[in-house]
Structure 1
Amino acid sequence: MSDKLVVCAYHNVGYRCLKELLRQGADIRLIFTHEDSPTEEIWFESVRELAEQHGIPYLTTSINEPENLARVAELAPDFLLSFYYRNMIKPTVLELATRGALNLHGSYLPKYRGRVPVNWAVINGETETGATLHYMVEKPDAGEIVDREKVTIDFTDSAFDVFNKVTDAAVTVISRAWPQLVAGTAARIPMDLKAGNYCGGRKPEDGRIDWSLSAVQIYNLIRGVTHPYPGAFTHLDGKQIIVWKAWPVEGCGEPGRVVSMEPLLVGTGDGLLEIRSLQVEGAEEATATDFVAKRTLVSAEFK
């Protein structure tokens, strides 16, 4: 059976899944990707470079634009696959794939439908997530499931660590599912939306530390948005401070109040937070030891 493909891809998941499709000899006719944003830390592999290496035509304009819609229609693909593509693909585009349009999502659906699912899973203290290949419909991350793979979230994992696990799981899913899709034997499991949840995108302001929360909750936020993401922040003496590394410990103290300088312990709504690495606005990242050595923090309060 035919397997003519148009692929929308970005980020490491897009890069790695494309490599797996190429390893399997998939007939990729066109790739849609994105221009890298000048305001974003680019720590991931380039789909555009991969397309160039393999001589595959690519575009960085949206697949939804009328001229691109016409180009896809002319190609008449059997499948349209989306791997971490950042634009919602319109139903008129999805309908052009005669054998199906599918998306690889970075969670174990139906949990964590929507944006930045890995970060949300870590911030919410989940112990597992995954990667899911599903058919695309008008509603985001809501179509029938073809295959999925779970990964564990360890308490010491940052979102970056989990993202790498999810990327590996995504490749595992594609390696299993692609031959089944081509053969027409792939599963189509209905998505039970009531068993899951939907998350929106995150804004920088969402990284603000609320010291009235428990030490564990604050720790989960910090590890959920630490490098290469923008980081969780608080304020001290009118200056913004990003907390890059921390650890929850037992104890009690007034929320936001420094109770110890060595180690640097701050009170929370439940327990204490040991700050291990932080960055004052306009300065370089520093260890808590170096930070404390330059300041008197007795009774200081983070806000």
Structure 2
Amino acid sequence: MKLGFVTCVQLGLSCMEAIYDAGGKLQVAITLKDEKAKSKSGRVFLDKFCQSKSIELVKIDHINDDNVIDVIKKYDLDWLFIIGWSQIAKKRLLDTPKLGVLGMHPTLLPKGRGRASIPWAIIKGLDETGVTLFKLDEGVDTGAILSQHKIPLNDSTTSTELYQLVSDAHSNLMKSIIPNILSGNVNLQEQDNAAATVWEGRTPKDGEIDLKDSIVNAERLVRATTKPYPGAFVMREGKKYIIWKAQVVKKYTDGLCLEFKDGFLECLEWEVE
């Protein structure tokens, strides 16, 4: 089974390492040219890893360029992984590998299609989330599912913790599925569109705490938007107070404490922007 991989971030590199840990190998790796997306969160360079494994590394401008199609055909790839990549692959690219293109999404599809998966899982108060390995199609997170890895959540889980759990789940899922992929024992399960939900993208301004809302929602928002995200915040006298950690308390406390109709939120870690 001939495999290729597309990534430019640490999450993808960890999955590449997991493939080798599980006894697989890659024919080729594709990444962005060195001068592109230098400030992208998690941006990494694959040269060292590819050299250590004798993998040809191809650096590109865009995933849909003709030279990418040529590379897939050159190596006669069965599957191409695209993980940690913001450019949308078009149908021509998706149809080029013999068996298709595989990606991962950090929810238990079909729930949570779309964006901002980690913050939304906490904001919505879910008791579990996860990572889904699926076959990419022209829709948004709509392709057939190969496998899923579940992640339990509780009422203290923060986005910092969940970000790491999601990262670990990517690697664990890759390790578990590679033997099946190599043997051709892949069972694709179509998604139940009737059960699908779509989560919208979020911006930093969505982190503003509504003092007229419930304290439960405010506390979740703090946990959901803490690092590596921009943080929940309140405005006071023209100043922006970014809150990284908080807890629900029964009475007003010294320092930065927010009053809601149903309780108080004591801010434990915060800064003024």
TM-score by length of 2: 0.89
* Structure 2 CA distance for aligned equivalents of residues 246 and 68 of structure 1: 47
C-alpha separation in 1, matches of 2:32 and 2:129:
25
Deviation string 1:155-175 (CA, Å, 9 cap, x unpaired) is: 222112112112222222211
Tell me by how many angstroms 1:187 deviates: 1.4
SS of alignment partner, residue 171 of structure 1: helix
- Cα RMSD after superposing both structures: 2.2
Are the equivalent residues in 1 in contact too, given 2:18–2:172 (CA < 8 A)?
no
Tell me, in whole angstroms, the C-alpha distance in 1 between the residues paired with 2:115 and 2:52.
30
Alignment of 1:274 onto 2:259: no
- Structure 1 residues 235 and 37 mapped into 2: Cα distance closer, same or farther (>3 Å)? farther
Q: Which residue of 2 aligns with 1:19?
A: 17
Deviation at 1:245, TM superposition (A): 0.9
DSSP-derived class of the 1:59 partner: strand
Instruction: For 2:32 and 2:152, locate their aligned partners in 1 and report how far apart those are by CA, in whole Å.
Output: 29
Q: Does residue 265 of structure 1 match 2:257?
A: yes
Question: For 1:228-243, what aligned pairs fall within 5 Å after superposition?
Answer: 228-243=228-243
Runs of 4+ deviating beyond 6 Å: none
- Cα deviation for residue 136 of structure 1 reads 0.8
- Aligned partner of 1:297 in structure 2 is none
- The AA in structure 1 aligned to 2:102 is L
- 1:274 is displaced (CA, Å) by 1.2
1:27 partner SS: coil
For the pair 1:64 / 2:64, whether they are aligned, the reply is yes
What percent of counterpart residues are identical?
Answer: 28
Matching residue of 2:204: 204
Q: Does structure 1 conserve the Cα–Cα contact (< 8 Å) formed by 2:144 and 2:191? A: yes
Matched residue, 1:214: 214
Larger mean Cα displacement after TM superposition, 72-81 or 141-150: 72-81
Deviation, 1:48, is 2.7
Greater C-alpha radius of gyration:
1
Per mean C-alpha deviation after superposition, the further-off stretch among 183-192 and 50-59 is 50-59
1:92-241 matches, cutoff 5 A: 92-241=92-241
Distance in structure 2 (CA, Å) of the matches to 1:8 and 1:220: 34
Kindly provide the CA deviation profile for residues 35-66 of structure 1, in whole angstroms up to 9, marking residues without a partner as x.
4453x6x4x47353544554530425221123
Cα drift, residue 263 of structure 1: 5.8
Task: Work out the CA distance in 2 between the residues paired with 1:63 and 1:202.
Answer: 25
Deviation of the 1:21 alpha carbon: 1.0
Distance 2:183 2:112 in 1: 30
Deviations 1:7-42 (A, max 9, x none): 12244431221101122231231223584453x6x4
AA in 1 matched with 2:46 = R
Aligned pairs (5 A) from 1:13-92: 13-23=11-21, 24-33=23-32, 35-38=36-39, 42=41, 44=42, 46=44, 48=46, 50-51=49-50, 53-56=52-55, 57-92=57-92
Contact 1:76 1:96 in 2 (8 A): no
Bigger RCO of structures 1 and 2 (CA < 8 A, at least 6 apart): 2
Matched residues in 2 for 1:83 and 1:179: separation? Answer: 19
- The CA distance in 2 between the partners of 1:6 and 1:269, in whole Å, is 55
Task: Provide, for residues 88-142 of structure 1, a one-character-per-residue CA deviation record: whole Å limited to 9, x for no partner.
Answer: 2111101011022111111111111122211211122212101111111100111
Give the partner amino acid of 1:244: W
In structure 2, the CA distance between the partners of 1:239 and 1:113, relative to structure 1 (3 Å rule), is same
TM, length-normalised to structure 1: 0.80
The structure-2 alpha-carbon separation of the partners of 1:194 and 1:180, relative to structure 1 and needing over 3 Å to count, comes to same
Residues 6 and 77 in structure 1, CA contact (< 8 A), matched pair in contact too: yes
Provide, for residues 193-234 of structure 1, a one-character-per-residue CA deviation record: whole Å limited to 9, x for no partner.
Answer: 221311232212111222222112111111111112111122
Distance 1:225 1:123 in 2: 9
Is the alpha carbon distance of 1:60 and 1:271 closer, same or farther for their aligned partners in structure 2, counting shifts above 3 Å? Answer: farther
What is the alpha-carbon distance in structure 1 between the residues aligned to residue 60 and residue 221 of structure 2?
33
CA distance in 2, matches of 1:269, 1:7: 51
Q: How far apart in 2 are the matches of 1:37 and 1:90?
A: 24
Partner of 2:5: 7
Please state whether the residue corresponding to 1:240 is helix, strand or coil.
strand
The answer to which of 230-239 and 59-68 deviates more is: 59-68
Count of paired positions: 268
Structure 1 window deviating more from structure 2 (95-104 vs 65-74): it is: 65-74
